[in-house]
Amino acid sequence: MVSSVVMAPRYRLLREVGRGTYGVVYEAVARRSGTKVAVKKLRCDAPENIELALQEFWALTSLEKRHQNVVHLEECVLQKNGMAQKMSHGNKRSKQYLRLVSYVKEPCYLWFVMEFCEGGDLNQFILSRRPDSQTNNSFMLQLTSAVAFLHENNIVHRDLKPDNILISEKSGTPVLKVADFGLSKVCAGLGDTTVGIEGEDKNRNVNVNKFWLSSACGSDFFMAPEVWEGHYTAKADIFALGIIIWAMLERITFIDAESKRELLGTYVRQGADIVPLGEALLENPKMVLNIPQKRRSCMSKGMRKLLQDMLAVNPQDRPSALELQARMDQVMCAT
């Protein structure tokens, strides 16, 4: 198998741990150090695959600092015509990389080598254990910290959901890792302007909450109302985070139509159907959210108000990621 040969000099593939539309994820081990890693193989044979692969590469390599709650990219390798070439970090040569993988007659692949998270994803971790308020509180603080870090570094994730939040248990306590940046956007623009201009180089003065995006992407149950319309900012990440936290606290789940898996997620019932909350709010902006859903809930007033603000129909009424982080700290201190 060509792919195994390409990775063999430095990594030994152990087993497949995940498979999606655009790629496969393996558990692997670094031959020299013996360290376990996750290796994601993305096939670059169509424009949409190439864009997803490069968006993830640009987002993760644009980070000048590490954050314990954002998955770390060890390296990225381009496999083309039986040859392997390491992709250098940074965005400056992004057009060259696009040409490199766009105009090949032979199939090529991008291999992402990342830290391995043995705890699975947030769905698996939460739903396989008894409810635990201490774990919930820790996870909420970690999630808000991660998103604040990403937005501070001009990255809008655009696909926050429990499937894309991994758990590392190396330290003995669960540590969340925001992952899967294939739909993310690295924003660049002119400071505080209302319209952002996409570019290769980062601009530290960008306000991601005023950088407008138009691609309606993400996962239905976590998409904000304005994403369904195709005109939104980083505040869409705050809405998705509100869905995740609300579902985690009350263990609200649905059965995914394709995989038949039970997944965390909040929704609205319309007859026999369940409708994503963002879509329902778009249809009825005056709809009142029933937070908490369960009568016997231990949810504090502070948390209830914070969730209502995170899930506000008008994105301007939602807190920024930095404001959310500060408010979450306050809510945790009050409990």
Residues with catalytic function: 159
CA distance 108 to 106: 6
Q: Is 105 annotated as a binding residue?
A: no
Residue 22 half-sphere exposure toward CB, CA atoms < 13 A: 21
Name the nearest CA neighbour of 252 among 211, 96, 260, 242. Answer: 242
C-beta neighbour count of 133 within 10 angstroms = 10
CA distance 275 to 291: 17
DSSP string, 275-288: EEHHHHHHH-TTPP
251 dihedral zone (left: phi>0; alpha: psi -120 to 50; beta)? left
Backbone φ, ψ for residue 326 (5° rounding): -65, -40
End-to-end alpha carbon distance in the chain: 55
Q: Tell the residue number behind the tokens 């096939």, with chain if given.
A: 43
Residue 171 · residue 177 · CB < 8 Å? no
- H/E stretch holding 262 reads strand 262-264
Residue type, 86: K
CA distance 275 to 221: 8
CA distance 199 to 145: 26
Strand ranges, E, within 4-121: 11-19, 23-30, 36-43, 73-80, 83-86, 108-115
Query: Which residues define the annotated binding site for ATP?
Result: 41
Query: Which residues define the annotated binding site?
Result: 41
